[in-house]
Amino acid sequence: MRPVTTTQLQDTVSVPVRFGALLSCLLAVATLVFATDNPPSKALKEIADSDLYVKLQLANTIKVSKLKTGDVVDGKLSQDVYSGDRELFPAGSPVRLTVDKLERVRRVPNDHWPWVVKFFTPRHQNSPTFQAASVTLANGKEIPLRVSLISISNERQVHAQIKNPSTKSLVPNEGPSSPIPPTAKSTPGVPVVTLEATELATAEAASSGENAPTPFSFSGPITLAAGTQARIILLGNVSASKSRPGDSFQARLVEPVRLDSQVVLPEGSLFGGTVVKSTRPRMLSRAGSLLLAFTSLTLPGGAAAPIEASVTGAILDQRSHTKIDPEGKLHGDHPGKAWMLIDAGVTAGIAKEADDTLQLIIEAFVSTATDASTAGVGRIAASSASALFLLTRHGRDVILPKFTQMNIMFDRPVSLTGPQSAPGAP
C-alpha cells in the first residue's frame, strides 16, 4: 500500500471544503436574487390573495394562433366580476388585452371527435399569453389588471332538463325558482377568453391602507332555502373516464349569493364535493356519465358547513356533446352523423386491408391458391375485423376541465351561523 503524501492529503481535504464554499456562495446569490425579485411586502401578499375570475367575449372573430407579440385584443365582459362581497366590474365593460407572447400548450381534451381523429390531432397548439389588461368603467376610468390566461374557446350553456307533464318528455330547464343572474349568451364563432386577474390599483390601495375593503360579515344564524342557486368554477379536472366514485373535488364561488339584498356567501367561498357515480364510455358507442354531489361549504376564514347541492347547469365548449338530466347527472350524448361516418370509413378501410392481407398470406404459403379461391376467406376475415372494430367503439366521454363554470342548487336548506368575517378579497 502506497503512503499518502501531505500534498495528496491536503487536496483530498480541500475538495469538500471547496464544494462547501461554492454551495454557500450559490445559496447567498440565490437568496440575494430572490430578495431582489420578490420583496416581502404586504402589496405582494394582497396580489397573491386577490385573484379575480374574468370572462370576456372578443369583439371580433380572430385566428388565435395567428396573434403576435404586442397585438391588442378588444372585448367586453360577459359577466360581472366580484371580489368578496363587492362588485368590481359590471358585465359589458370594455376590456383591452395585450398579447405578451405565443407559446406551445397542450390541447384541452374534449368529447367532440372519436379516438380516430384525436389520434391524428396534434397534442399541442399555439396559444397567446397575456400579462397586461385594462377595464374601462362607465366614467371612463381605466383600471389596469395583471392577468394570466385560463382558456380561449367558443362556449355554450347547458341546463338541466325537466320533465314536461303534458308530453312526458325532457325539455331544458332555464333555472329554478331562485335563479342567479344569467350570463350573456355567446356569439357563435366569437371566442370567449377566460382569465385569472389581479386588480393592481386595489392591491396597492389595500397595502397603503387607503380605501381598503371592509371585512365581510353578517350576524346569524341565517338559513338559505332549498332551491337557492350558486355560480361556481371547478378547481380541478373531473371526467367520466378518469374520475371514480368517492373521488373528492373542490369548487370556488365566483358570484356572491344574497338573501334579502344581503350578501351571505361572498365570492371566494369554497365548495367541497364527491363523485357519486361515474360510468366510463363503453363499447357499442355507449356514452359515459357522471353524477356529482356537493357536500360542504366553507366561507373565507370560516368553518365548513355540511350541504347538499346538485348541478343544474354548466358552460362547456361549444363542440361538447354533454347534457344534464333532471337529477343533475351529466351524460355524453349519442354519436352524431360525423362520428358515425368516421367510424364507417375506418371500418371500410380495415375490411379492405384485412381482405387483401389475408389473401396475400394464403397465396404466399399455398402455391395453388388464387384470388378466386381465397376471396371467400378474405371476406369472412374482413367482416370479422370490421364487426370487431364497431363493437369495441366507445361512446362519448363527459369531460369537465379545470375552471369549468357551473351552476348548482341547494337541495336542502343550509344554516349558516354568525357572525362570520373574512377579508373582502379571497
What's the mean pLDDT in 275-297? 91
CA distance 204 to 45: 11
pLDDT of 335: 77
Decide: 351 and 380 in contact? Cβ < 8 Å. no
CA distance 265 to 404: 20
User: Cβ of 15: how many Cβ atoms within 10 Å?
Assistant: 9
Cross-strand pairs, 160: 324
Other Cβ atoms less than 10 A from the Cβ of 326: the count is 13
- Whole-angstrom Cα Rg for the chain: 29
Higher-scoring residue by pLDDT: 370, 35: 370
DSSP symbol at 418:
S
Higher pLDDT, 84 or 218: 84
- CA 355 distance to own-chain centroid: 45
9-23, 39-53, 185-199, 267-281: least confident range:
9-23
CA distance 48 to 42: 10
- Residue 6's pLDDT band, with cuts at 50, 70 and 90, is very low
Strand partners, 385: none
**Quick one: pLDDT band at residue 263, thresholds 50, 70, 90?**
confident
CA-to-CA distance for 153 and 64, rounded, in angstroms?
Answer: 10
Residue 75: which H helix or E strand, with range? Answer: strand 72-77
Alpha-carbon distance of 273 to 250, in angstroms, equals 6
pLDDT of residue 225: 92
Q: Average pLDDT, stretch 403-407?
A: 94
The CA-based angle 201-252-232, given to 5 degrees, is 105
- Considering the entire predicted model, what is its pTM? 0.71
Question: How do the domains of the chain map onto residue ranges?
Answer: 6-38, 48-335+398-422, 337-391
CA distance 15 to 80: 63
CA distance linking residue 307 with residue 415, whole number of Å: 9
Tallying the residues shown for the chain, one arrives at: 426
More confident residue, 410 or 61: 410
Average pLDDT over residues 63-83: 88
pLDDT per position as a tens digit, 115-152? 667 777 777 777 888 888 999 998 999 999 999 888 88
At 387 the three-state DSSP class reads helix
